[in-house]
Amino acid sequence: MSRQFETIGVVGLGTMGAGIAEVFARNGYSVIGVEQTDEQMERGRANIRHSTDRAVKRGKLSAAEQQATLDRLRLTTQLADLADCDLVVEAVVERLGVKRAIFQRLDEIVRPDAVLATNTSSLSVTEISAATSSPGRVIGLHFFNPAPVQQFVELIHTVVSDPDVIDDVEELARKMGKLPVAVEDRAGFIANALLFGYLNHAVSMYESHYASREDIDVAIRLGCGYPMGPLALLDLIGLDTAYEILDTMYREGRNRLHAPSPLLKQLVTAGLLGRKTGRGFYTYEAADRPIVVDDAETPGLDSAPQFRRQIARVGVVGSGTMATGIVEVFASGGYDVTHVTGSTSLDELADADLVVEAIADELSAKRALVNSLDEICRDGAILATTTTSLPVIELAAATGRPGDVVGMHFFNPAQEVELVEVVATVATGSDVTETVRAVCAAVGKHAVCCADRAGFIVNALLFPYLNDAVRMLEAHYADADEIDTAMKAGCALPMGPFELLDVVGNDVALAIEQRLFQEFREPGLAPAPLLEHLVTAGYLGRKTGRGFRDYSTR
């Protein structure tokens, strides 16, 4: 017969522990929360109250349910008060030594049949369990942030975990409306192993002044539909926790892309841990509060109009979906648009103020085109390229006006996606970048600026993550459904990586990944062999009826 869980202990009431205690209490369990000091205990209580207040405001909880939830919660500073618990979930700082010491004590305090779980994000559950006399009852129970909202939980079993412990906790998680997936004990499990490489990469982009924090975050929200940008998410997670997770992942896999960016360490050392301390990548109105306030890095007002060029007439070159979409965007924004396709002459663009080329992404064709445009267009006209994968500087160098050449990377369908990546090369004039930004705003688009590197912002952050997901599948750590579920239900992404790859096309993904690998030469960016094999087999995704999944019968 399966275990009955009535009283649940939660050790540590920080970012995660407070949320985990709330989840159990809201589901009718008696909860005993343990903190180190009275002050931290009261902070945990205030956070649970604040979070349940919000749930009441949003109509997710009635006032009576909130009171009952709070009544089921007992807080203490004594681990010994957990003696009668049926399950204890540990959620203290991500440090192995601290966690092992707590498990050693819990092992002595709780009944022999009680289950001990760690909420660790990346540490070895096996090593934690080895601190107890009965490692069979130790498992990982990894909630996602915020725990009351995210449905997904990872259930981590070690080689010695009792199968019935996993089964019982799985049943408990399901009863609370969570979506549990059982996985083996590896650093980062499913979701963090895929998420943290991406988060670390975003920090490196910001650290190298490749783009501003706001532009990186907006690019991901608008370009990928993610609920939060990576730097805002890191602030929510806590930069100390993120640092420890990356450090553990790096030590286990020796993948340089997981070596924590130096900036993370600096922020942690300075005590800027994110929302919980009121400042991380962004500054917040107070500790533990979500509202961002202006600080020294907040972008100033737009440059004065006299530093921009006048744009009235826009030319668009190309006959594909992208070119047609861009024509519509400018026309509905009130610009006088000339659309040049194969049947019309480039000469019609002689008096255009801005020409956007959107022909096929092939270097020699694009170079020849911008070269002709350079001869035809008036002095001072801006030449923009929509290239996804070519260096913009290659095209600028094919003209006699490299300062006037800029990237304007629209996303498909151009009429709908609000984002445009504005790519400045080493030669692009700042007035040109400013002008293009202002034009984007005038046609209702949100421009983000970045340097001229493979993948710009969105693709450079997205495709290495998709590639990591393919590697995880290839290694048989989890199947495509489990991985897709982890990323959707754990990280609130709009699509799982395999759903997305099948929509984007495996051939398109492979080409982008090859380009990223060629430019950065990072072993971790080498396209996964499984992706190459699928492309060779013609399994390109939905467009061929088969990719990671088979659509022929659906």
Ligand X SMILES: NC(=O)c1ccc[n+]([C@@H]2O[C@H](COP(=O)([O-])OP(=O)(O)OC[C@H]3O[C@@H](n4cnc5c(N)ncnc54)[C@H](O)[C@@H]3O)[C@@H](O)[C@H]2O)c1
- Give start and end residues of each alpha helix (H) in 443-527: 458-474, 480-485, 497-504, 506-520
Active site residue 371: no
- Decide if residue 247 touches ligand X (CB under 6 A): no
Which of these is catalytic: 142, 201, 258, 409? Answer: 142
- Decide if residue 11 touches ligand X (CB under 6 A): yes
- Decide if residue 391 touches ligand X (CB under 6 A): no
The minimum distance between CB 189 and ligand X, in angstroms, equals: 10
The Cα 3–Cα 341 span in angstroms is 70
Residue (165 or 237) nearer to ligand X, CB: 237
Token output for 401 = 């006006």
Residue (152 or 498) nearer to ligand X, CB: 152
Among 48, 55, 102, 534, which residue sits at the site for ligand X (rule: CB under 6 A)?
A: 102
The minimum distance between CB 465 and ligand X, in angstroms, equals: 17
Active site residue 157: no
The Cα 536–Cα 551 span in angstroms is 18
Active site residue 409: no
Stretch of 11-19, 63-71, 301-309, 374-382 contacting ligand X, by CB under 6 A: 11-19
Among 30, 66, 200, 241, which residue sits at the site for ligand X (rule: CB under 6 A)?
A: 241
The Cα 285–Cα 291 span in angstroms is 6
Residue (181 or 457) nearer to ligand X, CB: 181
Active site residue 506: no
Stretch of 62-70, 117-125, 168-176, 304-312 contacting ligand X, by CB under 6 A: 117-125
The minimum distance between CB 273 and ligand X, in angstroms, equals: 7
Residue (142 or 471) nearer to ligand X, CB: 142
Among 30, 52, 129, 145, which residue sits at the site for ligand X (rule: CB under 6 A)?
A: 145
User: For residue 205, which of 546, 526, 520, 543 has the smallest C-alpha distance?
Assistant: 520
Among 46, 63, 98, 360, which residue sits at the site for ligand X (rule: CB under 6 A)?
A: 98
DSSP state of 539: -
- Decide if residue 14 touches ligand X (CB under 6 A): yes
Which of these is catalytic: 35, 90, 94, 154? Answer: 154
- Decide if residue 260 touches ligand X (CB under 6 A): no
Q: Is 399 in contact with 372 (CB distance < 8 Å)?
A: no
- Decide if residue 106 touches ligand X (CB under 6 A): no
Stretch of 15-23, 168-176, 319-327, 401-409 contacting ligand X, by CB under 6 A: 15-23
Looking up tokens 């001990």, which residue turns up? 116
Query: What does the angle CA 439 – CA 322 – CA 305 come to, to the nearest 5 degrees?
Result: 5
The minimum distance between CB 142 and ligand X, in angstroms, equals: 6
Please return the burial class of 2, using the count of CB atoms within 10 Å of its CB with bins 0-12, 13-18 and 19+: exposed
User: For residue 87, which of 176, 148, 182 has the smallest C-alpha distance?
Assistant: 176
The minimum distance between CB 297 and ligand X, in angstroms, equals: 23
Among 46, 63, 80, 93, which residue sits at the site for ligand X (rule: CB under 6 A)?
A: 93
Please return the burial class of 374, using the count of CB atoms within 10 Å of its CB with bins 0-12, 13-18 and 19+: buried
The Cα 265–Cα 15 span in angstroms is 19
Q: Is 80 in contact with 70 (CB distance < 8 Å)?
A: no
Number of residues near ligand X (by CB under 6 A): 28
The minimum distance between CB 364 and ligand X, in angstroms, equals: 48
Residue (47 or 385) nearer to ligand X, CB: 47
Among 36, 266, 269, 536, which residue sits at the site for ligand X (rule: CB under 6 A)?
A: 36
Among 23, 25, 85, 92, which residue sits at the site for ligand X (rule: CB under 6 A)?
A: 92
Among 40, 104, 204, 255, which residue sits at the site for ligand X (rule: CB under 6 A)?
A: 40
Q: Is 443 in contact with 335 (CB distance < 8 Å)?
A: yes
Which of these is catalytic: 30, 51, 119, 121? Answer: 121
Positions 16 through 35 that interact with ligand X (CB under 6 A): 16-17, 34-35
The Cα 316–Cα 350 span in angstroms is 12
Among 8, 10, 13, 422, which residue sits at the site for ligand X (rule: CB under 6 A)?
A: 13
Q: How many CB atoms lie within 10 A of CB 334?
A: 10
- Decide if residue 191 touches ligand X (CB under 6 A): no
Which of these is catalytic: 30, 47, 119, 192? Answer: 192
The Cα 106–Cα 117 span in angstroms is 11
Residue (292 or 363) nearer to ligand X, CB: 292
Q: Is 142 in contact with 189 (CB distance < 8 Å)?
A: yes
- Decide if residue 229 touches ligand X (CB under 6 A): no
The pairing of strands 138-142 and 115-118 is parallel
Look at residue 271 and give its three-state secondary structure: coil
The Cα 168–Cα 293 span in angstroms is 45
Edge-first strand order for the sheet with 419-424 is 336-340, 313-317, 354-357, 382-385, 405-410, 419-424, 446-451
- Decide if residue 119 touches ligand X (CB under 6 A): yes
Interaction site with ligand X (CB under 6 A): 11-17, 34-36, 40, 91-94, 98, 102, 119-121, 142-145, 237-238, 241, 276
Catalytic residues: 121, 142, 154, 192
